[in-house]
Amino acid sequence: MVPLRGSPQVPCFPQCVECVLQNQQSNGSWGLVQMDSSVNKDVLSSTLACVLALKRWNVGGEHIKRGLRFIGRNFSIVTNEQSVAPIGFNITFSGMLSLGMEMGLEFPVGQNELDRILHLREVELKRFVGDKSDGRKAYMAYVAEGLGNLLDWNQVMKFQRKNGSLFNSPSTTAAALIHNFDDKALQYLNLLVSKFGGSVYPTNIHCQISLVDSLENIGISQHFSSEIKRILDVAYSFWLQRDEEIMLDVAACAMAFRLLRMNGYDVSSDDLYHVDESTFHNSLQGYLNDTKSILELYKASKVSVSEKEFILDNIGYWSDRLLTEKSFSDRVQTTPIFQEVEYALKFPFYATVERIGHKRNIEHFDVCKII
């Protein structure tokens, strides 16, 4: 969707447009193929985004038709509250839907259904209209691609990181570049395209250490020792530099600390000074009350090596309380992470037999978490 500067009718990244044309699934969708062949909100978002991109550059007419038919067939999933949704789905999907209608796309869906989805964005925006917290501001910037001209993009750019990105998100950064040209944002996207090409989604250090965590959890890490060491060495380098890619993401920071310490790297809990309950609630993850982030903080608090690690004690205290509160929530109990939370609260890692832990993790392994 990003135009070449000075040539609004020419794509800045033609190789990505070509990638979209070459990678449509046989059912008309775009995105990762699910192991159980199910359709979810993430696939619908990816498909709609690709349809918009092709329409924007006036290519792939047949691809667009197949994509629209796929969206029409599965439109009921959009309003299904039981279906797991990406962060800010009600805003981003509704925003893309509105943009598509402005571009002249005809969705094979009844007008009442379209109006119902578009209303979701209005409800979301009005929900905390008086909320001026930093967490709310971060959330609005994170879902900026679904808000377009409704936002002050100069305010959004305050969340730009040193590498030029917004939240290390290619899509949010691209949206910012469309509405507010920025050299650093363009450099970030150019670097990603040159490094990963147009057909591979870029992986950051959080994705990589999550893979390490999964391998260790199911007991096969010994088969990937050199790859794991390479990833952890990079993570340790980032840690020593207090790199934003780790330090600004609560879940990544907590996981990196835990994995590095448990694998013999010299990391101090003092480096977690920026993670307390008040700063967490003012972060994006805190605003979203993200269970995964709280769980990672709780796990990190359990790898204490000294009675004087008061920062870990404090993190353990409030993360335990938040997880316990969440475990009684009907909404959390219907999510896949509930069993992981329940197990972590009952059995800290030091109180479990390794092989039994591996067996349980294999039985509950979700391949979609690492692909």
Question: DSSP string spanning 315-355?
Answer: HHHHHHHHHHHHHT-HHHHTSTTHHHHHHHHHS-GGGS-HH
Say whether pLDDT at 33 is over 70: no
Is residue 314 assigned to a domain? yes
Residue 29 shares a structural domain with residue 45: yes
Total count of domains within the chain? 3
How do residues 303-323 score in pLDDT, each as one tens digit?
Answer: 999 889 999 999 999 999 999
Residues 111 and 248 in one domain: no
Instruction: List 166's β-bridge partners, or say none.
Output: 160, 169
Distances (CA, A) of 132 to 137, 138, 288, 360: 7, 10, 15, 43
Nearest-angstrom CA–CA distance, 127 and 154: 23
> What local confidence, expressed as pLDDT, does residue 366 receive?
67
Residues 152 and 34 placed together within one structural domain of the fold: no
217 and 358 in a single domain? The answer is yes
Q: Could you give the CA distance from residue 93 to residue 95 in angstroms, rounded to a whole number?
A: 5
Assess whether 209 and 76 both reside in one domain: no
82 occurs within a structural domain: yes
Q: Is residue 308 part of a domain?
A: yes
Task: Name residue 11's beta-bridge partners.
Answer: 3
Q: Which of 142, 31, 44 is nearest to 368 (CA)?
A: 31
Say whether both 359 and 214 belong to one domain.
yes
The answer to whether residue 365 sits within a structural domain is yes
User: Measured between alpha carbons, how far is 24 from 30 in angstroms, rounded to an integer?
Assistant: 5
3-state secondary structure 174-240: HHHHHHCCCHHHHHHHHHHHHHHCCCCCCCCHHHHHHHHHHHHHCCCHHHHHHHHHHHHHHHHHHHH
339 and 220 within one domain: yes
pLDDT in tens, 171-206: 999 999 999 889 999 999 999 998 877 666 667 899
Q: How far apart are CA 149 and CA 131, in angstroms?
A: 20
26 domain residue, yes or no: yes
d(CA 121, CA 162): 31
31 shares its domain with 66: yes
Report if residue 123 sits inside a domain: no
**Are 72 and 161 in the same domain?**
no
- The pLDDT assigned to 233 comes to 98
Phi-psi region of 168 (alpha: psi -120 to 50; beta: other; left: phi over 0): left
Tell me 33's DSSP state. Answer: P
Q: In terms of domains, do 311 and 176 share one?
A: no
* pLDDT band at 95; cut points 50, 70, 90: very high
Closest CA to 190 of 198, 180, 181, 179: 198
* Residue-level pLDDT at 37: 54
Give the residue numbers spanning the domain of 149: 128-200
Which residues make Cβ contacts (< 8 Å) with residue 35, sequence separation at least 6? 367, 368
Q: For residue 200, what pLDDT is reported?
A: 63
Q: Tokens 């094979």 label which residue?
A: 108
Chain mean pLDDT for the chain:
89
Q: What is the CATH number of the domain that holds 221?
A: 1.50.10.130
Lowest-confidence region among 20-34, 46-60, 227-241, 349-363: 349-363
Residue 99 lies in a domain: no
Last residue of a domain, one of 169, 200, 231: 200
Q: 104 CB contacts (<8 Å, ≥6 apart)?
A: 55
Q: What is the dihedral of CA 193, 84, 81, 121, to 10 degrees?
A: -20
pLDDT digits (tens, 9 = 90+) for 198-243: 666 667 899 999 999 999 999 999 999 999 999 999 999 999 999 9
Are 240 and 330 in the same domain?
Answer: yes
Q: Is residue 97 part of a domain?
A: no
State the average pLDDT over residues 357-371.
69
Helices in the chain by DSSP H: which ranges?
14-22, 41-56, 61-73, 89-102, 111-127, 134-142, 153-156, 170-179, 183-196, 205-217, 225-240, 244-247, 250-262, 277-281, 284-287, 291-301, 310-327, 330-333, 338-346, 354-363
**CATH number of the domain where residue 111 is located:** 1.50.10.160
What pTM did the predictor assign? Answer: 0.86
251/351 same-domain check: yes
pLDDT for res 371: 45
